Amino acid sequence: MYDYLTILSGKAHPALAAEIAAYLNITLGRLESWNFPDGEIGVRLEENIRGRDVFIVQPTCPPVNESLMELLVLIDACRRASAERITAVIPYFGYARQDRKDAGRVPITAKLVANLIVEAGANRVLAMDLHAAQIQGFFDIPVDHLYAAPILDDYFLGLGLPESELVVVSPDEGSIKRALQHQERMGGSLCIVDKRRWSATETKQENLIGGPIANLCGGHASGLLRAGVKDSAGSADPRGCGDEQRPAVARTDVSESAGCFGRAVVGRGDQADPPE
């Protein structure tokens, strides 16, 4: 049924590519990837892909630059091997946070990365839960933007949380629309975190905005936090709020479909206060 497909994987997440291939009951494409002594990336396809529909599974997860460059090299190799169509499957799209000029003399790196992928020879991009939906417009090729929300909602609905005590929390202003989509399906109330970023790794939650504040601070609510890119988990740490704003909820569940879990995330998880 899928004889015309070839699925290739770089070194970023070969296990995911193998699971996709197994689900489709096809063999994962064979290739060799290596680093030259100076760090340059080299690849060689070890099977014929001429005229085939090629899917390259390569999230640009840490090391981001290494994974991104390997993706570009793989796309170029497939283009020069006469693939019929090349789809870049990027579950985690690196540099997505830099999608606008929020200060003077800064780049829009998300657009730069989109240009690189297109110029390398990709015909289509498949991404998941982009940091901002408008990133799709940075590409001059079709983008299939998939969402994890239905799967996450089914999971949380299955927990049987009382709707009257459920609060869906947006970790910042940019995630309000996604948080609203969760609330529309699961019910409950909506709360927004007023987040201030002081540096690339430091954020502070100044205020909780919304009607459910009383419930959150009363200790009777169950909070569902829909987080964004999480490499430091500052947005998901209620201790970032001042003592007067810090919620004392019955339980807190954090959902994330494109998490980049660095050491800071593990540290915050170990230090998190247990539910009261």
Question: Are the C-beta atoms of residues 152 and 255 closer than 8 Å to each other?
Answer: yes
Q: In this structure, how many other beta carbons lie within 10 angstroms of the beta carbon of residue 82?
A: 11
User: What burial class does residue 197 get, using C-beta atoms within 10 Å of its C-beta: 0-12 exposed, 13-18 middle, 19+ buried?
Assistant: middle
Q: How far is CA 185 from CA 111, 130, 132, 150, 223, in A?
A: 32, 20, 21, 9, 15
- Residue 163 DSSP symbol: G
Residue 145 identity: H
Residues ≥6 apart with Cβ < 8 Å to 166: 186, 187, 188, 189, 221, 222, 224
Q: Is 195 a catalytic residue?
A: yes
3-class DSSP state of 269: helix
Side-chain-side CA neighbours of 9 within 13 Å: the count stands at: 14
* Residue among 101, 111, 195, 204 flagged as catalytic: 195
Active-site residue list: 195
